[in-house]
């Protein structure tokens, strides 16, 4: 098993076959948290040996997604490093020698079966109501180097026959494995087939061989990956043993699946499309099909909120704390508190996390993010004014895009008035009382929050009016609806002259029968 004293080196090893799913992003995050907690190294390795599934732009998308989330790579395609190259297609010359080494040690063999021959055997099994598996029960009856003479094997290879190298799975052996999340895992090799490790057709390894060889050569100390790879763990253990690398093999952690909001099945793009939430970090447009997918960034989420949400999808800090900075996550993270069962994705919780980060955001930063929206609406306003307004309304916002609906009346006078509020608050002698207040406010020189608050209350008391009626009619006139923060904050921002104009406009436009 691994040596716990060696430096921590982890790798995130996605395939560039499309946009990075948030399940993959969570895998990258957990690798990153573990590496940083232990002063280790975070590697990004691109596993692009499956040329048929390669999608242009996917590799760049992966790196941009990690950058956006603040997951910093120490060694990788872009960063370089002493264990490169970090793109598997650039390492293709490495793998054949290791596959041949396994053949030489008796742990693997050549198989020359054609697709037609394999299909014939499958149909024979199906006719008997059985399922064909290429395993210890058939390998010595197939066209393999276990049955053919060494001379015939050499002849076939020399004349260009297609072949693969398969792992020779031991018969009836109990493989005992350790997982950092699941504890001891056992599996009998009799239930496993002889996996293909290398194919002569494209001179490329399969995932199983390339993965093990690269992790060994890159001195990876811990393999943290999705639960879907757990069935491959016995093969990987046996490959390390076959190579004689058991003493330096990494420790393994298989993360729980991200489940649909219903809790039934793995979270997919279709779930997001159906329910209106992203399952990818960034917007994606397929260069081949033109199909698009929503991204958390473009939908208005803060990267810190996405990271915080993902961290808690499968990991429990053991406290009531829910909001964590990246540094706090690094300090608190532990595989002891990562669950074994799938984590159900909750779109409303994602929005809740973003709202929390929205409310904590610096007003100046939010004002700068809000400026393009204001420009789009034809509004020009000093940054300090926008900053003040943002501070008044951000606690009601989930996204920056919500700020306009929450604050438009600060910038633009209402032209319509909420009908329900009109029916409730604009009746009897209320308009006449508001006209009186309008004349009184026109004479107020200081229009600060404190000054207008004191003046309106004193004036209302002197008149013997009901303060609620006064304030609601004033709000309706200035805002256009009975919503928003403190009325006196609104008056301060809008200013005396604009307040008077808005009251005049409301008195002229609103009629009780409305």
Residues belonging to the active site = 269
Which two tokens mark 309?
A: 């949400």
Report residue 84 as tokens: 């490169």
- Identify the helix (H) or strand (E) that includes residue 255: strand 251-255
Q: What is the dihedral of CA 110, 113, 115, 116, to 10 degrees?
A: 180
What phi and psi values does residue 245 have, to the nearest 5 degrees?
-110, 15
For residues 368 and 366, give the distance between their C-alpha atoms in angstroms, rounded to a whole number.
5
User: Mutual orientation of helices 496-509 and 430-441 as an angle, nearest 10°?
Assistant: 160
Residue 202, CA distances (Å) to 51, 143, 264, 497 in order: 9, 20, 38, 77
Tokens coding 240: 């390390």
* Dist. CA 432–CA 457, nearest whole Å: 18
318, 359 in Cβ contact below 8 A? no
As given in the structure block, the two tokens for residue 230 are 């757990």
Rounded to 5 degrees, φ, ψ at 368 are: -65, -40
Q: Which residues contact 319 (CB under 8 A, 6 or more apart)?
A: none
- Which of helix, strand or coil describes residue 411? helix
Tokens 């939010």 appear where?
A: 366
Q: 250-289 burial by CB neighbour count: b if 16+ within 10 A, else e?
A: bbbbbbbbbbbbeeeebbebebbeeeebbbbbbbbeeeee
Q: What tokens appear for 395 in the block?
A: 């606690």
Compute the distance between CA of residue 13 and CA of residue 227 in angstroms, rounded to an integer: 15
Helices 449-463, 430-441: crossing angle, 10 deg rounding: 130
25 and 12 Cβ atoms separated by less than 8 Å: no
């Amino acid at each position: 098993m691994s040596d716990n004293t060696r430096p921590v080196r982890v790798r995130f090893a996605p395939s560039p076959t499309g946009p990075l799913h948030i399940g993959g992003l969570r895998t990258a995050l957990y690798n990153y948290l573990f590496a940083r907690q232990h002063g280790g190294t975070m590697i990004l390795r691109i596993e692009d040996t499956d040329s048929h599934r390669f999608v242009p732009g996917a590799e760049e998308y992966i790196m941009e997604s990690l950058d956006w989330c603040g997951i910093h790579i120490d060694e990788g395609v872009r960063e370089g490093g002493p264990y490169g190259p970090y793109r598997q297609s650039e390492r293709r010359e490495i793998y054949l020698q290791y596959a041949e080494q396994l053949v030489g040690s008796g742990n693997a063999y050549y198989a020359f079966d054609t697709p037609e021959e394999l299909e014939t055997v499958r149909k024979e099994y199906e006719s008997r109501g059985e399922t064909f598996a290429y395993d210890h029960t058939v390998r010595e009856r197939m066209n393999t180097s276990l049955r053919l003479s060494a001379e015939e094997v050499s002849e076939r290879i020399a004349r260009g026959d297609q072949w693969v190298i398969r792992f020779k799975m031991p018969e009836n052996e109990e493989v005992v494995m350790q997982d950092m999340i699941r504890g001891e895992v056992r599996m009998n090799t009799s239930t496993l087939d002889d996996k293909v490790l290398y194919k002569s057709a494209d001179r490329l390894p399969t995932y199983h061989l390339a993965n093990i060889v690269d992790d060994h050569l890159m001195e990876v100390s811990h393999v943290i990956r999705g639960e879907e790879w757990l069935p491959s763990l016995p093969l990987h253990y046996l490959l390390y043993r076959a190579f004689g690398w058991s003493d330096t093999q990494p420790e393994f952690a298989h993360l729980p699946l991200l489940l649909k909001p219903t809790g039934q099945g793995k979270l997919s793009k279709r779930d997001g499309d159906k329910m209106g939430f992203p399952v990818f970090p960034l917007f994606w447009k397929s260069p081949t099909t033109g199909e698009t997918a929503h991204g958390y960034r473009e939908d208005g989420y803060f990267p810190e909120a996405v990271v915080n949400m993902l961290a808690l999808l499968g990991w429990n800090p053991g406290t009531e704390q829910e909001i964590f900075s990246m540094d706090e996550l690094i300090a608190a993270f532990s595989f002891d508190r990562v669950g074994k069962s799938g984590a159900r994705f909750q779109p409303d919780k994602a929005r809740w996390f973003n709202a929390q980060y929205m409310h904590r955001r610096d007003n100046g930063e939010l004002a700068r993010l809000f400026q393009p929206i204001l420009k789009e609406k034809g509004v020009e306003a000093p940054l300090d004014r926008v900053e003040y307004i943002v501070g008044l309304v951000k606690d009601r916002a989930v996204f920056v895009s919500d700020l306009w609906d929450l604050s438009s009346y600060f910038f633009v006078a209402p032209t319509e008035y909420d009908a329900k509020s009109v029916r409730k608050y604009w009746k009897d002698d209320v308009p006449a009382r508001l006209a009186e207040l309008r004349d009184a406010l026109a004479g107020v020189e200081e229009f600060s929050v404190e000054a207008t608050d004191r003046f309106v209350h004193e004036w209302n008391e002197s008149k013997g009016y009901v303060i609620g009626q006064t304030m609601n009619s004033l709000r309706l006139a200035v805002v256009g609806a009975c919503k928003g923060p403190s009325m006196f904050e609104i008056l301060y921002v809008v200013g005396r002259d604009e307040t008077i104009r808005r009251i005049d406009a409301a008195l002229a436009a609103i009629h009780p029968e409305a």
